[in-house]
Structure 1
């Protein structure tokens, strides 16, 4: 049985870095970032990659069928039984589609949705400060933040009702955040 942990958080919340550090620390954990999966697809030059690229450049959500396909392939091909996916779900539709899939899936159990909580101000400072690519400017950041916050309350309520939401303060030293998240994940596997 594969154990799945989702990590959500604003752009710049540190969710990808946190997940990478935890996976590096444990051989039995695989980490996937939806952003990295999408960027790899774009870099491959495939037709799907070109479609994904138009959405990323505008700071918009990648269409549900492409996102779910990418994620499901990653989970099934994961070399370990514990998988952390960061940056998903980003919409009510994504959350619902994943939930539908998991209800019929006997090999994968969603253990928790971990939210890395940071203020918009901290998120903006981090994203604009890192400037990783075309999607890291103020205008695109503002759109990404809006896209993140609009469905957030519904996503939180959905996972709270299932007793799967864990909030972690993302405005501390990276090591504190990682230790906190790692302890939580270890307690669930």
Structure 2
């Protein structure tokens, strides 16, 4: 049985960095982003990978059922029993479909959803700081794009939090501290749940 942790948070919350650092500390934890899983499926040469490639190459969103099957398939094939996925779910539809899929899934258990909570100001400063500190400027590291990404994150957030709170699966961790403090708290929490 694979134990799944989902990490959600605003752009600039540090969720990907936190998940990467935790996975690096333990040989029994695997970290994925949804993009990683799609790329791995495409690289596998599978029929589903071919379908995903047709959507991605056209700049379209991968259909939700294919996305869920890909994610769950990657979790099942993970080299460890504990899997952390960051940045998922991003919408109420993604949350609902994943929940429906997991109800009938005997090999994967959703243990917790961890929200890395930061103020919009903190997230904004980090994203802009990331742009200033890097020779490689990401396309999403500007104010207009940041505000749009923040809107896309916050619009479904209340429903997502309420859904997982009712299932007693939501854990909120402050993302306002240092990386070390946040990773330490998240790491301790994950260890306490497995």
TM-score by length of 2: 0.85
**After superposition, where does 1:16-31 map in structure 2 within 5 Å?**
16-31=16-31
Q: Work out whether 1:103 is the aligned partner of 2:108.
A: no
- Name the CA distance, whole Å, in 2 between partners of 1:39 and 1:177: 29
Unpaired stretches in structure 2, ≥5 consecutive residues? 45-49, 132-136
Residue aligning to 1:183: 188
Alignment-derived partner of residue 172 in structure 2 = 167
Counterparts of 1:130 and 1:123, CA distance in 2: 10
The reply to whether residue 51 of structure 1 matches residue 55 of structure 2 is yes
Give the aligned length.
Answer: 184
| Structure 1 unpaired stretches of 5+ | 56-60
Q: Find the counterpart in structure 1 of residue 128 from structure 2.
A: 128
Tell me whether 1:112 sits opposite 2:112 in the alignment: yes
Matching residue of 2:47? none
> What do you get for the CA RMSD once the two structures are aligned?
2.4
Contact 1:28 1:81 in 2 (8 A): yes
User: Aligned ranges for residues 3-42 of structure 1 at < 5 Å?
Assistant: 3-37=3-37
Deviation at 1:152, TM superposition (A): 0.2
* Counterpart contact for 2:30–2:79, Cα < 8 Å: yes
Helix, strand or coil for the counterpart of 1:179? helix
Does the aligned pair in 2 maintain the 1:9–1:15 contact within 8 Å? yes
Q: Which residue of 2 aligns with 1:152?
A: 157
Partners of 2:145 and 2:52 lie apart in 1 by 22
Shift of 1:64: 2.0
Q: Answer with 1 or 2: which has the greater Rg.
A: 2
What residue number does 1:58 align with? Answer: none
TM-score normalized by structure 1?
Answer: 0.87
Partner residue, 2:134: none
- Which one is further off, 96-105 or 29-38? 29-38
Does the CA-based 8 Å contact 2:13-2:116 persist in structure 1? Answer: yes
- Shift of the alpha carbon at 1:50? 6.3
Q: What SS class does the counterpart of residue 70 from structure 2 fall into?
A: helix
1:112 is paired with a residue of what secondary structure? Answer: strand
